[in-house]
Amino acid sequence: MSFGKSFGPTGTPAVIIDCGTGYTKMGYAGNTEPQFIVPSAIAVKESASVGDKAIQRLGKGVEDLDFFIGDEALSATSYSVKWPVRHGIIEDWDLMERYMEQVIFKYLRAEPEDHYFLLTEPPLNTPENREYTAEIMFESFNVPGLYIAVQAVLALAASWTSRQVGERTLTGTVIDSGDGVTHVIPVGRPRKLRTLTRTLKWGFYQCFKGRPGVVEKTLTGTMVGSGDGVTHVIPVAEGYVIGSCIKHIPIAGRDITYFIQQLLREREVGIPPEQSLETAKAIKERFSYVCPDIAKEFAKYDADPSKWMKKFEGMNSITRQKFAVDVGYERFLGPEIFFHPEFSNPDFITPISEVVDTVIQNCPIDVRRGLYKNVVLSGGSTMFKDFGRKMQRDVKRVVDARLKISEELSQGRIKPKPIDVQVITHHMQRYAVWFGGSMLASTPEFYKVCHTKADYDEYGPSICRHNPVFGTMQ
């Protein structure tokens, strides 16, 4: 499905690639969903004698072609599986270049010389990493144009599809939970780029004008993004990340999977050891949800187990015999570690709702109300049923308690104005970052802010240290 495309100077749609710790989302601008979603893994042949440079040089030509990515990499038994991205940051640039090669040529079947590219980056990505990215895209793939966008800002833009959003702004708090880390990120806007940002907002507006519930939207909000390996809470004010206030949470989807795996192992339910992690992940994705009160949830299961228990059926990959697992408390205990992290991690005990509140309180006072009003969820680990509802309730409780204390300290002389807390959920939440990029790259303004190959040839990779329209608040 697509919502209208704007072709650039090449006459072809832009390519959007969102490379996360666990999965890479890729596709063409103008579509509402990525064309391919594959694990961010690459399988390569290990050298027979590690450190022998002569052998490595002799076989280099063949080795560079002998690799797999995605699901093929995970099933390549005689290869060594590597993950180039860790906690949202690219750690192995050589492997990343080979990974991108198959993404572009094998999956998207695109000629890179014919397409502008939009790539995403995590909050607080270093300028040097942007330069490395530019070198790969312009020199190895010879792309005509490149734009590197902050994931939190794209997630905020994607939230404009929600009926809950009444004002389109580029300000808000983004909670982004991925495969390796969770961030809470505030986003804002400096005045000097206000005109250009307004132009971009109009481009986004064209995508959604006439949509019920959509009035005027800007890139202001708090983005809570949680995927498989990382969770971010990111405040954004008018399209600009307030970098000093970002928080990372060491809990994400992978931690939930490990916690469920541990619970199942303690019960000794007869799952084949080699399939315990895969089974835990399937149970998490199929049966898990967030409960409003954990004590009442335990009582509910104890009172009528047959009503709430679910059955998971699988097959032993070695013996081909079927096995079954009764799933009970694991359904709600898994996602509960976001709100009670001490269950799985004794070193981190701050609930995600308190992290969100801390992030917003650390931001400039004049943007706090906007950040509370627009808390945007992003990433697969925020898709649990009632996740947004419980977060809104818990954040509201923290805010109201602070206002009550303030009133008591003034002995009733000061009546604080109530603060509106709203957590935004929407149907594009799972792939919010990619969809936001698809929206941006579908506007004519996108091609005006891209760094071109001609600019790269003249000035070098340093031009990609800063990308116009969206930047970091100083």
DSSP code string of 200-235: HHHHHHHHHTT-TT--EEEEEEEEEEE-SSBEEEEE
Distance between first and last Cα of the chain:
39
**Rounded CA separation 173/185 (Å):** 6
pTM: 0.78
Question: Taking residues 6-35, what's their average pLDDT?
Answer: 89
CB atoms within 10 A of CB 311: 9
Beta strands (DSSP E) in 259-367 are 310-315, 322-327
Choose the weakest-confidence range: 25-34, 114-123, 216-225, 364-373: 216-225
Question: Taking residues 16-44, what's their average pLDDT?
Answer: 93
Q: Which of 86-95, 161-170, 205-214 has the highest mean pLDDT?
A: 86-95
Higher pLDDT, 424 or 9: 424
Q: Which among 60, 89, 116, 114 is positioned nearest to 445, based on CA atoms?
A: 116
Q: How confident is the model at residue 398 (pLDDT cuts 50, 70, 90)?
A: very high
Q: How confident is the model at residue 162 (pLDDT cuts 50, 70, 90)?
A: low
Mean pLDDT estimate for the chain: 83
| Greatest extent of the chain over all pairs of C-alpha atoms, in Å | 81
Q: What pLDDT is attached to residue 169?
A: 56
Is the per-residue pLDDT at 205 higher than 50? no
Q: What pLDDT is attached to residue 437?
A: 93
pLDDT digits (tens, 9 = 90+) for 461-470: 999 988 875 4
Instruction: Supply 167's token pair.
Output: 């004002």
Q: What pLDDT is attached to residue 60?
A: 52
Q: Which residue bears the tokens 């004519």?
A: 444
**Rounded CA separation 447/442 (Å):** 9
Backbone phi, psi, residue 169, to 5°:
-130, 165
Q: What pLDDT is attached to residue 201?
A: 36
Helix axis angle for 253-267 and 276-287, nearest 10°, is: 110
Q: How confident is the model at residue 430 (pLDDT cuts 50, 70, 90)?
A: confident
Q: What pLDDT is attached to residue 294?
A: 95
Is the per-residue pLDDT at 196 higher than 90? no
pLDDT digits (tens, 9 = 90+) for 84-111: 998 788 999 999 999 999 999 999 999 9
Q: What pLDDT is attached to residue 55?
A: 46
DSSP 58-70: HTHHHHTT-EEEH
**Rounded CA separation 63/79 (Å):** 12
Question: Taking residues 317-339, what's their average pLDDT?
Answer: 92
Domains by residue range for the chain, with CATH = 15-151+432-465 (3.30.420.40), 154-251+350-424 (3.30.420.40), 254-341 (3.90.640.10)
Contacts of 312 (CB under 8 A, 6+ apart): 279, 282, 283, 286, 287, 324, 325, 327
In Å, how far are 176, 237, 310, 323 from 269, measured between CA atoms?
34, 49, 14, 10
Q: What pLDDT is attached to residue 469?
A: 57
CB atoms within 10 A of CB 458: 9
Question: Taking residues 50-73, what's their average pLDDT?
Answer: 65
Instruction: Supply 70's token pair.
Output: 């995605």
Q: For residues 98-133, b (16+ Cβ closer than 10 Å) or e, as one string?
A: bbbbbbbeebbebebeebbbbbbbbbbbeeebbbbb
